Amino acid sequence: MPGTRCRTASSRAIKFVAVAALAACAAACGSERAASEPPPTPTQTASPGQSATPSPKTFSFKINPVGTALATGTISVSAGQRSTTIELNITGLQPNSSHVSHIHTGGCPPSARGVIVFALNQVVADGQGTADTKTTLHITYPPASGRWYVVVHSGPDMQGSSSAYLMCGELF
């Protein structure tokens, strides 16, 4: 049958053109990726209600003056999977003053105080006595056991009267 042979050849030509068009399209789409860039790998998708990268958990605590100090403030804790950021927002400090700060084990009452476990960045007040200090630590929060508290000392170092607690705030 002469007509069948033409249809078969015509059908093959159409298939060839379609395959060639798909190959050209695939090549064009793939040309956007740099030659040295590896092909994409599948990523794990989160199930409904879960995010692939969890947002940090944020906690807020008061940091209270010790003794006759007039400063007040807050401690913000932003806890991620691999790091934790501690932010101290304080008002009422001596203008342009500098203060050592760190995290201890235990609690603020003198009978509950423990050892220093993490140093925080120096708290430096501006000309109005306001400070906003952030420190990022490679720790998980909350602690697996025990309690932590933040201390802001009276001065820039741990010498003499500078070592006295100016402010204290419980973290956990």
**Burial degree of 84 (CB within 10 A; 0-12, 13-18, 19+):** buried
Rounded to whole angstroms, the Cα distance separating 134 from 85 reads 7
What sign for the dihedral angle of Cα 58, 71, 98, 143?
A: negative
CB 99 within 8 A of CB 154: yes
- Taking CA atoms, 55 is separated from 52, 103, 111, 153, in Å, by 9, 24, 36, 32
- Which tokens sit at 153? 């000392």
Give a three-class secondary structure readout of 14-69.
HHHHHHHHHHHHHHHHHCCCCCCCCCCCCCCCCCCCCCCCCCCEEEEEEEEECCCC
Specify the pLDDT at position 15.
47
Q: What is the pLDDT along the chain (172 residues), one digit of tens a residue?
A: 555 454 444 445 444 444 444 333 333 333 333 333 333 322 233 334 444 456 678 889 999 999 888 999 999 999 998 899 999 999 999 999 999 999 999 999 999 999 999 999 999 999 999 999 999 999 989 888 889 999 999 999 999 999 999 999 999 7
Specify the pLDDT at position 2.
53
